[in-house]
Amino acid sequence: MYTIDLNCDIGEGYGHYKFGNDAEIMNYVTSVNIACGFHGGDPRIMRETVLLAIDKNIAIGAHPGLPDLNGFGRREININPEEAYDLVVYQIGALQAFVTAEGGVMQHVKPHGALYNMAAKNKPLAEAIAKAIYKVNDELILFGLAGSALIEAGKKFGLQTAAEAFSDRTYMCDGSLASRYVVNSVLSDKEAVAKQAIRIVKEGKIKSNEGLDIDIKADTICLHGDGENALAIAREISVSLVENGITISNFLQK
């Protein structure tokens, strides 16, 4: 039997600006990564999103990003490991306060956007992030790109890790995500996204932009909640996985 955790980045609106349909998308995923205010999210949205996740019994994770609202946290900022440590501790703490206040439990931490991609290759940065998570709560699980420095850093600090793959992104032959500045780096066709997710689970492979198959072992698959057709993609992935004999379940329940 095949089983996979399906996670989604949500709560990424800010003030009057809303993205996606978080409440509906939560019907199709088993883990959520909630923005903590630096790249998106604000106190009201954080609280409302936490309440939604608790109501739907979905695993809650913090989604700390770079302090770049204008760039949605997707532009690289040249921060040092100490700065990375501080901003991750700060953002985990912010979301943890809402989770605790509403009677929930935080399961994991997944860095966002440029911070995530930088830490996938930058060992000192990855270790600063892992250390921040460990110091706040050593029972939190670190979500990171499969095969990346971030996963290795989590293991070094004794954290449980979840190797992540992406259903709606394309890859380079070294296993890194294709830059969003590259044409076709984001998949928007729901059937193509679902097929990629199925292949990741059943074959442990994904085709790179260069046309080569690369091995990938994933504990969780991400879909993004901020795209125009995010809800349709979430629904298609969920239905297709089940139709192909794959159970969607939080990876802790495997």
DSSP helix/strand/coil, 106: strand
- C-alpha pair distances (Å), 123 with each of 7, 50, 131: 25, 31, 12
pLDDT greater than 70 at residue 96: yes
Amino acid 211: pLDDT: 86
CA–CA separation, 210 vs 155, rounded Å?
A: 30
DSSP helix/strand/coil, 148: coil
Express each pLDDT in 187-239 by its tens digit. 888 999 999 999 999 999 999 988 899 999 999 999 887 777 889 999 999 99
Amino acid 254: pLDDT: 53
- Lowest average pLDDT, out of 9-13, 99-103, 172-176, 223-227, goes to 223-227
Place of tokens 């293991």: 155
Closest CA to 34 of 5, 68, 62: 62
Q: What is the mean pLDDT of the chain?
A: 94
Fill in the amino acid letter for 20: G
Q: With beta carbons less than 8 A apart as the criterion, state whether 114 and 79 touch.
A: no
Place of tokens 């989590």: 154
CA–CA separation, 192 vs 200, rounded Å?
A: 12
Percent of the chain with pLDDT over 70: 99
CA–CA separation, 100 vs 182, rounded Å?
A: 40
pLDDT greater than 60 at residue 66: yes
CA–CA separation, 1 vs 12, rounded Å?
A: 34
Amino acid 21: pLDDT: 87
> Given pLDDT bands bounded at 50, 70 and 90, which one contains residue 253?
low
Facing residues of 162 across strands?
A: 143
Q: With beta carbons less than 8 A apart as the criterion, state whether 53 and 101 touch.
A: no
Percent of the chain with pLDDT over 90: 82
DSSP helix, strand, coil percent of the chain (3-state; round to 5)? 40, 20, 40
Closest CA to 182 of 111, 117, 110, 115: 117
Q: Give DSSP secondary structure letters for 134-153.
A: HHH-TTSEEEEETTSHHHHH
| Whether pTM exceeds 0.85 | yes
CB proximity list for 27: less than 8 A, separation 6 or greater: 56
Express each pLDDT in 126-156 by its tens digit. 999 999 999 999 999 999 999 999 999 999 9
Place of tokens 């139709």: 243
